[in-house]
Amino acid sequence: MTDKRRPIKSRSNPLMIRLAKWLSHKNITPNQISLFSIVPAFIAMIALSLWQVSSLLWVQILLLIIAIAGIQCRLLCNLIDGMVAIEGRKVTPAGELFNEVPDRISDTLFFVGLGLSLISPFSNEASYGLALGLLASLFAALTAYIRVLGVSMGSPAFFSGPFA
């Protein structure tokens, strides 16, 4: 592991190692995995933004479970893309870009979904939910930008904090 990689305990999980090897042998690139991570993030955004719309408890619970599954799937993609790249020796010159940009898009989708969930569907009052979601996504993007900027200037990568 290099100091540019986030220390993740799951990276040594035998199931994750097998999955990364299997994907690597199927000619799936880390960049494809990174781009695919936007799909579960989009599904989670839709589920998060709609969970309050239904008055049926089972529909609300189902939508929240879908959102949780989307978030976990995105995290899995984020873990596996790096493993396929490093351990599968599939690092590309554009890999850093493919690793960061889909993550920021996914962050934005999650935070916008959360922000939209703060808007009460049956209220005429103004809500700042969408603005809060966009602001949170901006902070997440700035945190990643500052980390990458620091690494480019010779500092070690720092993976602490709520938006890291």
In CATH, the architecture of 9-152 is: Up-down Bundle (1.20)
Domain ranges across the chain: 9-152
CA distance 84 to 102: 16
Q: Which two tokens stand for residue 96?
A: 């850093």
CA distance 22 to 38: 21
Place of tokens 């690092």: 91
Q: Which two tokens stand for residue 53?
A: 């719309």
48-57, 109-118, 126-135, 154-163: range with lowest mean pLDDT = 154-163
Count of beta carbons in the 10 Å neighbourhood of residue 64:
14
Overall average pLDDT of the 79-83 stretch:
91
On the question of pLDDT at 161 being above 70, the answer is no
More confident position, 58 or 153: 58
DSSP state of 91: -
- Residue 61: the pLDDT is 97
- Per-residue pLDDT band for 99 (boundaries 50, 70, 90) equals confident
Burial of 32 (0-12, 13-18, 19+ CB in 10 A): middle
